[in-house]
Chain A
Amino acid sequence: MTADQTEDAAPPILRLAGVTKTFGPIRAVDAVDLDIRDGEFFTIVGPSGSGKTTLLRMLAGLEKPSAGDILLRGERVNEVPANRRPTAMVFQSLALFQHKTVGQNIEFALKMRGIAQATRRARAHDLMTMLRLPHDYYSRPVTRISGGERQRVALARALASDPAILFFDEPLSAIDYRLRKQLEVELKDLHRETGKTFVYITHSLEEAMVMSDRIGIMRQGRLIQIGTPDEIYTRPLNKFVSEFMGEVNVLEVEQGGDGALHAREVARALKGPKLPDGATRGHLVIRPEALRFLGSGETADNVLEGELYNEYALGSRVQYHVKIGARMFVVERLREQRAAAAPGTTVTVGWNAADSIIVPD
């Protein structure tokens, strides 16, 4: 499940072959192979320290690989510095030029290419229209606009020179939830409108799911799984990936001779998918939304009794913590399917074997 096995008609815009970056004894990026297709929205997801920022900086030309090759449209660009690559980066801090106006920021790349003032200005106005920035912001200092507007100025500035690839270094990480959700949608729409290749990094798989065509999961300098959001969601490679998705119920299980699964924390034998051939233990992953409360007469493949510990309203959904044996289970239901029981009472929880998956460590 590494790079694409199928030969695409179009060659990849960016090909990474064994790209490695070492800082002293630390392998920040460890032999990454990856093909990024022309025009796709590719997101690299990983916790902090996984090497994703270092990888992105190498792609942008801000850092040189210690080993391996980076090919841009088939040409090796390892030694080409950032200022001579046809790519642009949107930085985590946005890095807008604080002493310049909105217009001067957007036009910067064009000015560096010696393009005439009138042409630059026209281009800046086009970009401002596309990103829905009012034209009278042109002469305003960047310090006097709002956070969301600053994001759009940073995007316009990166787009000004018409780069082949746009890199994003977690630009939404410092933004409050509501604005972030809105900007995620805007970014995906911008990707559609421009048709450019976007390479995005984030520590939030949720954010990656919303926007990406494909996602690469990074851990300890390695890309451990690459796939569409759907593939990552339904077939996570291992426990790490499945837990990265947010709150899930993971039970360490062993398979008995009869095919039943036994978890240490749960007294009853469980029904679930088969472990891979040769394996004796694995992790049973049950999503919070796969669990439901069973009334009298209702049944499921697995039925457990526990104490409803607490409930948390999440807008359209409600989350419950249910204590079963020594273990807290997370259950998520739509608001209209909420539990009739109050915290402290005993409830019956069930799920079907087909709604759970088995992953290795």
Chain B
Amino acid sequence: MGGGCREPAVRVGCDGASGGELVMVVVAKPLTRRLIIAWTACVVAFLYIPIVCVFLVSFHKARYFSFPFSDFTLDWYGKAFSSLQTQELMLVSLKVAGVVTAISVVLALFGALAFARFNWRGRKLFQRLLLLPIFFPQAVLGLALLIWLTFLGVLPSWQSAVFAHLVWIAPIVTLVVSIQVYGYDAAQEEAAFDLGATRLQVLREVTLPALAPGLVSGALFAFLLSWGNFPLSFFTTGADSTVPEWLYTRMVAGYTPLVPTMGALIVIGATIMLVLGYALIVLRRRRANSHG
């Protein structure tokens, strides 16, 4: 944590990735540095030990939680992948997260562009109204949506869960994309148009590539928030079930050793998405820098 830039006491812009912004980094004295390292280690342990435990348990041969661990096995992973039920669970989670990601990124792109570019009446009010659902307890929001769906006569299913997730996730993604849009000079689009590009070419050549980092982060947020969501899915999936929902119901009644395994798989799925997203950003940057 203290590594990276050591020699001078005060350094400006030491973080190479931050590209041009001024970052003041003060190098700490030895004791302070040791305390920082200890503190950081505590925080990391606090955050990750529970998840590591789930992983350990998921390899555990015995049928129930026990400590110390005895035999390790990959059987439960084999079962998780071969069981039709768990396959269905993952498929539903994946479908919901995928559709939520696609829709929320499109909504966020146009929403963010509208906020950043135009000054219309009620813009501020709309912005606040849009963000309000984030602050509702998700269980209350889920219940409210279920009541409303019932009132409308919609049979809850994974599709209605997509809708529920969007209410909560689309505003967050809009915020993430807005940050990118605010730092983007829209005159670039006019310049492209003036240089002979069609509206479609402007979108493909200028708008989307310029906003790509924001869109990728937004998509990651959308996918991860939907993939791991429990309270909204719990109320609105109806007969369908996502992995987090299944984990909960199995913990309440009918525990199986597949529970920690599925939990571990959720984390692995999220990690894969993160790594892919990061790789995408790094690849883009490298290609932009080495264009020949």
Contacts and interface: CB of A to CB of B under 8 A. Distances in A.
Contact of B195 (A93, A112, A143): A112
A127 interface: no
A101 B288 contact: yes
A101 B291 contact: yes
Contacts of A82: 190, 193-194
B196 A96 contact: no
A161 B290 CA distance: 25
Contacts of B292: 139
B191 A99 contact: no
Contacts of A60: 194
A81 B206 CA distance: 18
A97 B288 contact: no
A82 B189 CA distance: 12
Interface in A146-173: 157-158, 160-161
Given A62-B190, A91-B187, A98 B196 contact: no
Contacts of B193: 62, 81-83
A112 B194 contact: no
B256 interface: no
A88 interface: yes
A111 B201 CA distance: 11
Contacts of B198: 83, 112
A50 interface: no
Contact of A91 (B191, B196, B289, B290): B191
B32 interface: no
Contacts of B212: 99
Contacts of A92: 187
Interface string B211-233: 01000000000000000000000
B196 A112 contact: yes
A80 to B, nearest CB: 12
Given A112-B201, A143-B19, A143-B20, A98 B195 contact: no
A141 interface: yes
Contacts of A109: 195-196
Interface residues of A, number: 34
Contacts of B249: none
A98 B190 CA distance: 14
Nearest to B183: A98
A97 B85 CA distance: 50
Contacts of B185: 93, 95, 98
A89 interface: yes
Given A93-B185, A99-B288, A104-B291, A83 B206 contact: no
B103 interface: no
B188 interface: yes
Nearest to A109: B195
Given A139-B290, A141-B288, A143-B19, A88 B187 contact: no
A160 B192 CA distance: 13
B210 A95 contact: no
Contacts of A160: 195
Given A60-B194, A113-B196, A139-B291, A97 B201 contact: no
Contacts of A143: 19-20
Interface in A99-117: 99-101, 103-104, 108-109, 111-113
B291 A99 contact: no
A142 to B, nearest CB: 10
Contacts of B210: 97-99
Given A96-B188, A112-B201, A103 B291 contact: yes
Contacts of A112: 192, 195-198, 201, 205
B209 interface: yes
A122 B184 CA distance: 30
B192 to A, nearest CB: 7
Nearest to B188: A95
Nearest to A103: B291
Given A93-B187, A95-B190, A112-B201, A157 B195 contact: yes
A97 B196 contact: no
A161 B191 CA distance: 13
Interface string A18-34: 00000000000000000
Interface in B102-126: none
A82 B197 CA distance: 9
A157 B206 CA distance: 15
B177 to A, nearest CB: 16
Nearest to B192: A108
Interface string A129-151: 00000000001010100000000
B188 to A, nearest CB: 5
**Most-contacted residue by chain A among B19, B205, B210 (CB, 10 A):** B205
**Most-contacted residue by chain B among A88, A92, A108, A158 (CB, 10 A):** A108
Contacts of B191: 89, 91, 95-97, 157
Contact of A88 (B194, B201, B288, B290): B194
A113 B206 CA distance: 16
B289 to A, nearest CB: 6
B194 A89 contact: yes
Given A93-B187, A112-B205, 7 more contacts: A88-B195, A91-B187, A91-B190, A95-B191, A98-B188, A99-B212, A108-B195
Interface of B: 19-20, 184-185, 187-188, 190-198, 201, 205-206, 209-210, 212, 288-292
25 contacts: A62-B190, A62-B193, A82-B193, A82-B194, A83-B195, A83-B198, A87-B194, A88-B195, A91-B187, A91-B190, A96-B191, A97-B188, A98-B188, A99-B210, A99-B212, A101-B291, A104-B291, A108-B197, A108-B205, A109-B196, A111-B205, A112-B201, A141-B289, A143-B20, A160-B195
Which 10 residue pairs across A and B have the least CB separation, nearest first? A95-B187, A95-B191, A109-B195, A112-B196, A82-B194, A112-B197, A95-B188, A101-B291, A89-B194, A99-B209
